[in-house]
Amino acid sequence: RLRLHDGKLIKDRRYHLRTYPNCFVAKELTDWLIDHKEAPDRETGIRLMQKLMDHYIIHHVCDEHSDYKDAKLLYRFRKDDGTFPLSKDVKVFMRGQSLYEKLVSVEESILKVREENSVKYQRTFLGCEMIDWLVQEREAENRKEAVELGRALLEHGIIQHVSNRHHFFDSDILYQFWINFRRRRRLTELLNENSSRTLSESPDSPFCLRKLNPDPGNTSFLSVQTNKEIKIVSAVRRSSITSLAGNSNPYFSATPMLVFPPVAECNPKSVLKRPVTNEELLSPGAPYIKKTLTIVGDAVGWGFVVRGGRPCHIQAVDPGGPAAAAGMKVCQFVFSVNGMYVLHLDYQTISSLIMTGPRTLVMEVMEAVE
């Protein structure tokens, strides 16, 4: 975004007697991506920009197009018009980035290469050292507040215990920044993000999962797998930033863990009796009604499985979960998530959208009239 501002690709533009501030022409941007070797070809450039649209980074200036089109259409970065959603996850990530920049730019930084059990770790610090520094720099009012900040950074995959065995404590335990914020990243990395890869590798939507270590007597939710097996699935902690970590830290994991071997064979096919298209759902007089569901996630998730794409449908609902209590049923089609129209998206994208959103989930679903 900043490079586009510097190159004057983002500027005020006039169209049909109206001025649109801080926008760019899609076709010009695709040319720029190729010229600056951010994309090898136009197809890849379009996919990259669509990824940014799907994650609320850019949008059409009038929101008339949900897809990125390589044409003379005007788009804008949401940070340039104040519509970028600052969720808790994003705020924690930005706070972590700010602290990292501050730490690496000072002399005698507490970030050092240290060794533990004959293994060297980069960008490390002791928990008590970080607490001292946060209080000294007035990044936290007191040690208790500093510990809470450290725990939030760890839970969002920004820092970690060097061997992933401890949460964050005010002690001489060794931690490190897991993300190197200063590494120059290329746009094409977006197409290989761990979050989407994880979701596609796991046939289970991560927001339906149960606890990592269920209490005795607590039943785990069985979910149909694409490999013709039912497996018992454990929970993950919700976070958009965890995908950047790419590891299996038990305190922040975007990877659903299958904790038991297959227990039964079953037919894994879709619960839908036949495929349904968007055109069929939206056609006048179609036998579908729209319902709005407000689902307040509990400590272990929302309790449903979404499948398919364009449109996605509800494949399974945990009868004891929040989704069932809100009125969700199998075979409903997902129309919108937190106000965003999603009929054109696949289930991996919707999974990511839900995980990065607030705990209170507002969904519009379309249900067949009986």
**Angle made by CA atoms 74, 75, 81, in degrees to the nearest 5:** 120
Q: What is the structure's pLDDT at 296?
A: 87
Cα–Cα distance for residue pair 347/308, rounded to 1 Å? 6
Q: What is the structure's pLDDT at 240?
A: 32
Token pair in block for residue 52: 């940014």
Return the sign of the alpha-carbon dihedral for residues 92, 93, 96, 101. Answer: negative
The upper half-sphere exposure of residue 23, i.e. CA atoms within 13 Å in the direction of its Cβ, equals 21
In angstroms, the Cα distances linking 61 to 14, 49, 345 are: 12, 14, 20
- For the question of whether the overall pTM of this predicted structure is more than 0.85, the answer is no
Residues of the chain with pLDDT under 50: 194-267
Token pair in block for residue 219: 């039943």
Query: Quick check: helix, strand or coil at residue 17?
Result: coil
Helix (H) / strand (E) element for 271: namely none
Please state the φ and ψ torsions of residue 46, each to the nearest 5 degrees: -65, -40
Return the sign of the alpha-carbon dihedral for residues 361, 364, 366, 367. Answer: positive
Q: In the chain, what are the domains?
A: 1-77 (1.10.10.10), 88-177 (1.10.10.10), 278-368 (2.30.42.10)
DSSP secondary structure of 158-189: SEEETTS-----SSS-EEEESS-TTS---GGG
DSSP secondary structure of 104-139: HTSTT-S-EEEEETTEEEEEEEEHHHHHHHHHHTTS
Token pair in block for residue 20: 């649109």
Contact in structure between 38 and 48 (CB atoms under 8 Å): yes
Q: What is the structure's pLDDT at 6?
A: 87
Of 164, 188, 333, 321, whose CA–CA distance to 246 is shortest?
164
Listed in sequence order, the residues at least 6 apart from 329 whose beta carbon sits closer than 8 Å to its beta carbon are 314, 317, 367
